Amino acid sequence: MEPNAAPPGVHRRPALGGAVALLYLALAGLLTAGGWRDPSGRLLGAPQDAIQHIWFLRWVPYAIAHGQDPLLTRFLDHPGPINLMWNNATPLLALVAAPVTLAAGPVAAYLALLTLALTVSAWTAYLLAARLVRSRAAAVAAGLTYGFSPYVLAQATGSHLPLVTIPVPPLLVLGLHELLVRRRSRPGTVGIGLGLLLAAQLLTNEELLLTEVLMGAVTLCVLAALHPGAIGRSLRTLLSAARAACLTFAACAALPLLVQFAGPARLGAGPVQPSGRYVADLLGFVVPTAILHFAPAAAVALTHRFTANLSEWDAYLGLPLVAVMGLAPLAIRRRWAWAAAASGLVAGVLALGPVLHVGGRAVGISLPWGWLARFPGFRDALPDRLTVYVFLVAALLLAGLLDRCRERWPGWAGWLGFSAVAAAALLPLLPRGALPSQPTRVPAFFRSAAVDRLAPGMVALVAPIARGPDDRAMLWQAASGMRFALTSGYALHPGLHHAAVPNPPATPLTSVLDALQAGDPLRLPPLALRVLRYRLQDLHTGAVVVGPMRGRARVVRLLTRLLERPPTHSDGVDLWLAVGRPATRGTG
């Protein structure tokens, strides 16, 4: 990379940067419009993961206000505990959104965060592109390519809020540019900024932190190969900045990492997700998925043969943007473009996973990720998500090529070429529409004064049992302001040998409740009823609540027999109080 001859227009024209941010905010608002119809009553994306993140957003301010550890909880799967550092609880996002959470509820806070994440991610890519090119219009196109990419659309459809919050990668590249190219700031100052960014990423998404460090190392190696004569001059600067970054990161991250790796309920051996499933298909880079506007039925049918699911089919670039990435370094003729292209190629190869997949079938060609996945951390990372760096590179190369069009053909001819290239690259990335949304359907009991019948911190058995894919009870708990602790919960637990399991182990009671919900006609003998009654007492619950669910009447009949009395009906739920043994409190 080398200094750009263009003046740093972004910093000298802050009003333009603000206008660009408002443009991205408007586009983000259109994409999340389904939620803004009822900010506190509609869920965006896939409900399972959305509810989990909404729960995290409510837990952190509750824990801080009540003097509990926000990184550990006994309010799920009581008595627990559950180590939230292993569950991507995004404590930083929860703190940022706390005023909205407390004023309008966690559902509205989730919606606001998702909209803000789209906006800020696109804007930071704009800032980075504006550092490298003269044309501000080209930089705007770069922000659109990165902040509203098929990667972002797919992850947002899956309600993966932390993976949509991606302003850190462009800011890290900006820091490296300031350190190695502009050299207008002291290395220690830049290092402190980089350390703060990495600490913020730790408290937002650890998987992105891991891959950012990986791609940072790849980028530095590429730069060293392109600038062998500058290694000696840059090494001292890098070491000085790295020392400041490490010290800053350690100061900010020591406590969360201590909780994660030395605290209770930590996870151990074994990957969280199966190896080789969540990978980018080679055809996925050029075959559009169902979330895109220009996706023929034949293309959508082909993508449904890919491994994983729609929220992880996030690699689509389209043939025009692939061509841009191949031709841009030749047209731009600057070494930063070659460095970006090489880094993007590495990210794309790594995103393919341990074995090459073509059209949903493994073709038996081993790839570098298979070697990398042997190391701790990388075995839990999902390779397809490295496409975020491919899109960052694509955004920068597109901006460089558009800028080159304006330089080479001034006047109307340049704008014509600019418009043609931008349209060809960006139109295939157009989403089919706004993100899907649906009503939350929280029973009035959990949002009214009726929930005060539960003592603060009381342990409650709530049906349906909270686990994937049905974790509605966690949403109801969050809507109540964390009034009670749950005996279940959709979260990673340490199983055998501390291996991660996504739900608490099934018990005779939960198995019977699940069977009744599924419609199985169970006939339980007296001995089985006695076992279930003892199991219910062993949970030390102070209340049992049954909300809207399939098989509700059958579940209520069973619980009536176990508790030997009928429930009271309160604001849409069936409620039993003073259940079994005295209830314990859900303290953290």
The pLDDT tens digits of the residues spanning 129-180 come to 999 999 999 999 999 999 999 999 999 999 999 999 999 999 999 999 999 9
Q: How does pLDDT run across 17-29, given as a tens digit for each residue? A: 899 999 999 999 9
**451 and 302, same structural domain?**
no
Structural domain of 473: 444-577
Instruction: Give the pLDDT band (50/70/90) at residue 496.
Output: low
Residue 554, φ and ψ in degrees, nearest 5 = -65, -40
Asked if 413 and 513 sit in the same domain, the reply is no
Does residue 293 share a domain with residue 207?
yes
| Closest to 309 (Cα-Cα) out of 154, 468, 147, 502 | 154
85 occurs within a structural domain? no
Segment 346-363 shows an average pLDDT of 96
Residues 226 and 286 in one domain: yes
- pLDDT value at position 469? 83
Q: How far apart are CA 192 and CA 189, in angstroms?
A: 5
**55 in a structural domain:** no
| Predicted pLDDT of residue 582 | 42
Residues 256-267 pLDDT 10s? 999 999 999 888
- pLDDT in the model for residue 538: 77
Q: Are residues 415 and 529 in the same domain?
A: no
Q: Where are the alpha helices (DSSP H) in 287-427?
A: 297-303, 319-332, 335-351, 368-372, 387-408, 412-426
Identify whether 536 is part of a domain.
yes
Q: Are residues 410 and 371 in the same domain?
A: yes
- Tell whether 412 is covered by a domain: yes
Together in a domain, 323 and 448: no
Q: What's the confidence (pLDDT) of residue 13? A: 67
Domain boundary among 376, 405, 429: 429
**Per-residue confidence (pLDDT) for residue 2, from 0 to 100:** 46
Task: Please check whether residue 485 is in contact with residue 457, taking contact to mean a CB–CB distance below 8 angstroms.
Answer: yes
In a domain, 57, yes or no: no
pLDDT over 50 (residue 181):
yes
Q: Is residue 27 part of a domain?
A: yes
pLDDT band at 426 (very low <50, low <70, confident <90, very high): very high
Do 419 and 455 lie in a common domain?
no
What pLDDT does 270 receive? 63
Residues 424, 452 within the same domain: no
Domain end, chosen from 386, 401, 429, is at 429
Whether 487 contacts 540, CB under 8 Å: no
539 vs 550: CA distance, rounded Å: 23
Residues 128 and 216 in one domain: yes
Picking from 287, 337, 294, 351, the residue whose alpha carbon sits closest to that of residue 317 is 287
Of the listed ranges 191-195, 215-219, 269-273, the one predicted with least confidence = 269-273
Question: Does 415 map to a domain?
Answer: yes
Do 387 and 503 share a structural domain?
Answer: no
Same domain flag for 135 and 207: yes
Q: Which of 394, 429, 464 is the last residue of a domain?
A: 429
CB 367 within 8 A of CB 34: no
What is the domain count for the chain?
2
Whether 503 shows a pLDDT value over 80: the answer reads no
Q: Within a domain: residue 296?
A: yes
User: Given this model, what pLDDT does residue 4 score?
Assistant: 44
